[in-house]
Structure 1
């Protein structure tokens, strides 16, 4: 069977260097291709920006939602990170999709609902805030999700049949033959999964990638902590946010990935240079909402 030029979720990348094209044949699975790296981001200015945004009457903004907005912006600006490997070939994804979890309550046995959202280029922060607030509320208020019902049905099968069903699913997926109804809401068919451990007041972990799906990036956000840093030539106590990345090296080289992560750091550390004054951004968001 010939490699499809177009899948429902992406388009075949052509003209790539030979050393990039051979990688999926040498490193055949996602977890033998992973690179782990850490960023420590000074979010003192971002926290101040968020506080001013909220005080100016903008829709309630959190650091995590700002981070999601900036990760999406980074992926739009650095599109070679928004790729995936399928059947040993490299594909450009058809859009920027981020997945993240929302717990229904902070308890040991609480259900974690996964949310997947498409982020459009140049989408306003106000639009993102309102959309995610609605999505989180709906996820927490919903009963049994359709994906959970499908899982219960699969798990009711005898083990040999379940093995066969999963194998057929992956065989069809590798060839781009799965209907979008089976993948459109699956969080593992996304540009990146972003996990907010900071909301649980815990440190960030390095997470594995999933062989299921085609997501090549996993970002774990830790808890903010004060730390001494050199700022404006002086040692100051600043608020530091740890970000820990897991990256499928087959989609792009380490230099491109490192420069992309550096772009995200600059966006977060200089929110005024990136987004403008928060009061102006709130006014702009209000005008768009009225229109």
Structure 2
């Protein structure tokens, strides 16, 4: 029955969870808010940590082109998903060169972008939405695949028709904790060519073993989906190590 129930595997997704002690991260966020007046959150810190991890392994900051070749990105952009219309619509905004910006700059820029998205005043999203609304349902899938092929595989500039190049960047970050979820896994988006997706769960008080004794610590669970055509377990482990260093001790990692 199993032999006849599924087709041959064609999905390169690898899934995993990463539990991180958020004690120092929360203290750093509180201190940073008081010092700067900017509403920095754990999501901004996760985006920065992901960008720093990719900077440590630039070979995985890449796009699969034409199903065969690997094309390296020349910058590290982080796509933050944004809920609009009370959560009914999920869109997003791209923070470019996130590895070169601190979490305060990321938070400030993303706040500006999110306000435009939620107010329906983002030009590129508006153009794309109008295009999709005009297409019959049967043509939406072929149109998305055509735009993907023209933009990524052939490298054509589609901005004249409202489709920016590489609009989803190097990594996607989405906070599912705002919906009351402590953990989740998100799929790779085929037309985005983004090899890494991170979901941020709600922070929970959790028993943790510290130096042989049990303590209750705030722990955040991150769901990670990666493209196995670009990353393998060794590279994923190195990304996770660098990522954990930033989240578990942001003061030290960011100052360095």
Pair 151,41 (structure 1): closer, same or farther in 2 beyond 3 Å: same
Pair 126,151 (structure 1): closer, same or farther in 2 beyond 3 Å: closer
> CA shift at 1:122, angstroms?
3.5
CA–CA distance in structure 2, aligned partners of residues 198 and 167 of structure 1? 31
Candidates 56, 59, 63, aligned match of 1:84 = 63
Any conservation in 2 of the 1:201–1:223 contact (CA below 8 Å)?
yes
Larger radius of gyration: 1
Is 1:183–2:164 an aligned residue pair? yes
Pair 36,163 (structure 1): closer, same or farther in 2 beyond 3 Å: closer
Candidates 33, 39, 46, aligned match of 1:54 = 33
Q: TM-score, with normalisation over the residues of structure 2?
A: 0.84
Candidates 102, 118, 125, aligned match of 1:140 = 118
Candidates 41, 50, 53, aligned match of 1:74 = 53
Q: TM-score, with normalisation over the residues of structure 1?
A: 0.75
Pair 150,133 (structure 1): closer, same or farther in 2 beyond 3 Å: closer
Determine the structure 1 residue equivalent to 2:5. Answer: none
Is 1:128–2:102 an aligned residue pair? no
Is 1:194–2:179 an aligned residue pair? no
CA–CA distance in structure 1, aligned partners of residues 123 and 174 of structure 2? 20
What runs of 5+ residues in structure 1 fail to find an aligned partner?
A: 1-26, 278-291
What runs of 5+ residues in structure 2 fail to find an aligned partner?
A: 1-7
Pair 138,170 (structure 1): closer, same or farther in 2 beyond 3 Å: closer
Any conservation in 1 of the 2:79–2:173 contact (CA below 8 Å)?
yes
> CA shift at 1:120, angstroms?
4.7
Determine the structure 1 residue equivalent to 2:83. Answer: 103
2:96 counterpart SS class: strand
Is 1:114–2:92 an aligned residue pair? yes
Any conservation in 1 of the 2:77–2:94 contact (CA below 8 Å)?
yes
Any conservation in 1 of the 2:82–2:91 contact (CA below 8 Å)?
yes
CA–CA distance in structure 2, aligned partners of residues 62 and 126 of structure 1? 9
> CA shift at 1:81, angstroms?
2.2
CA–CA distance in structure 1, aligned partners of residues 171 and 242 of structure 2? 16
Any conservation in 2 of the 1:113–1:140 contact (CA below 8 Å)?
no
> CA shift at 1:224, angstroms?
0.6
Any conservation in 2 of the 1:169–1:178 contact (CA below 8 Å)?
no
Any conservation in 2 of the 1:155–1:162 contact (CA below 8 Å)?
no
Deviations along 1:58-94, one digit per CA (max 9) or x if unpaired, are 4221111111112111111221221121111111112
Any conservation in 2 of the 1:81–1:257 contact (CA below 8 Å)?
no
Candidates 14, 32, 40, aligned match of 2:19 = 40
1:212 counterpart SS class: helix
**CA RMSD, aligned part only?**
2.6
Pair 28,147 (structure 1): closer, same or farther in 2 beyond 3 Å: farther
2:192 counterpart SS class: coil
Pair 55,160 (structure 1): closer, same or farther in 2 beyond 3 Å: closer
Paired residues for 1:211-230 under 5 Å: 211-230=190-209
